[in-house]
């Protein structure tokens, strides 16, 4: 039996409460209801907050803005994990890992996550790929002492 698996870089993103709830819905779409199907983790300073839903996480954070967020969704069949998706988001970078036995689901989930991050990226997400060229140009044209 083949498994499809990919770790993919995503554009940077600031995930507000609306965006986190939308991302939770994308990750859990087509998953069987299960107590251990979803976990969301956020880091605020030296504290790590873990919850079973975005709503629970937001309640536990009490308005604090996390430095990073990790969402993980797994789909179980009996005692086996058949597919899953994990998204990690930091202020300047994000990534996802998707795995599954069904190629159509796998490719579709990767596409959904990628489109979500492209649609919600902040202005600096557009500028970030150009920074090495801009910095290189400034260094190259700087007068030498």
Structural domain count, the chain: 1
The answer to whether 73 touches 38, Cβ cutoff 8 Å, is: yes
User: What percentage of the chain has pLDDT greater than the value 70?
Assistant: 83
The answer to whether residue 25 sits within a structural domain is yes
The answer to whether residue 143 sits within a structural domain is no
User: What's phi and psi for 17, nearest 5 deg?
Assistant: -60, -40
Q: Quick check: 95 pLDDT over 90? A: yes
The answer to whether residue 94 sits within a structural domain is yes
pLDDT value, residue 92: 85
The answer to whether residue 41 sits within a structural domain is yes
Confidence label for 96 from pLDDT (cuts 50, 70 and 90): very high
The answer to whether residue 118 sits within a structural domain is yes
The answer to whether residue 66 sits within a structural domain is yes
Q: Which domain holds residue 94?
A: 4-138
The answer to whether residue 93 sits within a structural domain is yes
pLDDT value, residue 32: 73
For the chain, the average pLDDT equals 85
Instruction: Give me the DSSP letters along the chain.
Output: ---EEEEEEE------HHHHHHHHHHHHTTPPP-TTSEEEEEEETTEEEEESSHHHHHHHHTTPPPSEEEEEEEEEETTEEEEEEEEEE-SS-EEEEEEES-HHHHHHHHHHHHHHHHHT--HHHHHGGGHHHHHHHHHHHSPP-
What's the Cα-to-Cα distance from 101 to each of 58, 63, 84, 85, 113, rounded to whole Å?
32, 39, 10, 12, 18
Segment 47-90, tens digit of pLDDT: 999 999 999 999 999 988 899 999 999 987 777 888 999 999 98
The answer to whether residue 144 sits within a structural domain is no
Segment 26-39, tens digit of pLDDT: 999 988 777 778 99
pLDDT value, residue 15: 84
Segment 118-131, tens digit of pLDDT: 998 766 555 555 55
Q: Quick check: 25 pLDDT over 90? A: yes
């Amino acid at each position: 039996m083949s498994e499809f698996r990919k770790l993919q870089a995503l554009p940077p993103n600031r995930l507000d409460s609306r965006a986190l709830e939308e991302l939770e819905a994308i990750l859990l779409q087509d998953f069987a209801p299960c107590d251990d199907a979803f976990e969301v983790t956020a880091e605020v300073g030296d504290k790590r907050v873990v919850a079973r839903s975005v709503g629970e996480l937001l309640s536990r954070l009490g308005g604090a803005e996390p430095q990073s967020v990790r969402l993980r969704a797994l789909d179980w069949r009996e005692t086996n994990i058949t597919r899953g998706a994990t998204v990690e988001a930091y202020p300047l970078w994000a990534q996802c890992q998707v795995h599954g036995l069904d190629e159509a689901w796998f490719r579709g989930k990767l596409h959904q996550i990628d489109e979500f991050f492209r649609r919600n990226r902040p202005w600096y997400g557009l500028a970030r790929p150009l920074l090495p060229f801009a910095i290189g140009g400034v260094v190259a044209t700087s007068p030498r002492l």
